[in-house]
Amino acid sequence: MRIVILGSPGSGKGTQAALLVERLGLPHISTGALLRDAVKSGSELGLRAKSIIDKGELVSDEIVSAMLEERLGQADVAGGFILDGYPRNVAQAKSLDVMLERIGQPADEAIHIDIDPELIVARIAKRAKEEGRSDDTEETVRNRLRVYEEQTAPVADYYAERGLLTRVLGEGTIEEILQRILSILSLNPGDD
């Protein structure tokens, strides 16, 4: 099973991806983790990414795609994966589709976690207070949500047009949301 998890910042996609990894035994692929690992390893791609990051610039889609393709070519991904945090725009989604088709691993499902933006603001404000995070101000969160709507939200429409998107209500307990996702994937709590 090859799953792409989508949702706005604070929607719980990372939490749900981690639970799905545990539940389904599939590798969790996060482009942020791939970048950190590549830089740490000192690989050719990692060194290229590090020089860009050190300048305070964003790593190009080309480098991220190359790292992603390298990761998707590893043996543990043969049975599927859960992709979280990528694609971030329609161009990346199209590039990802071409790559997945080329390696014979097309996406089976794109799941978008839908949640009211005001709940996200409240959720992140609570997290910021509990964790002492000064970077999660209401203004910062609202700006991240605005950027998401402009750049990343159209990815859901792209997957909908391809017949791969299912929207899940991201409100309620973590377990309730997980059960909604498992239901979409036709997995019940007792299934393996």
For the question of residue 13 being annotated catalytic, the response is: yes
Looking at 126, 129, 133, 146, which residue is catalytic? Answer: 133
CA–CA gap between residue 136 and residue 125 (Å, rounded) = 7
Looking at 13, 23, 48, 71, which residue is catalytic? Answer: 13
Q: Count the Cβ atoms, other than its own, within 10 Å of residue 148.
A: 19
Which residues are 81's β-sheet partners?
2
For the question of residue 88 being annotated catalytic, the response is: yes
Q: Which of left, alpha, beta for 56 (phi over 0: left; psi -120 to 50: alpha)?
A: left
Burial of 118 (0-12, 13-18, 19+ CB in 10 A): exposed
Looking at 36, 50, 88, 142, which residue is catalytic? Answer: 88
Looking at 127, 129, 146, 162, which residue is catalytic? Answer: 127
CA–CA gap between residue 111 and residue 113 (Å, rounded) = 6
Which residues are annotated as catalytic?
A: 13, 88, 127, 133, 144
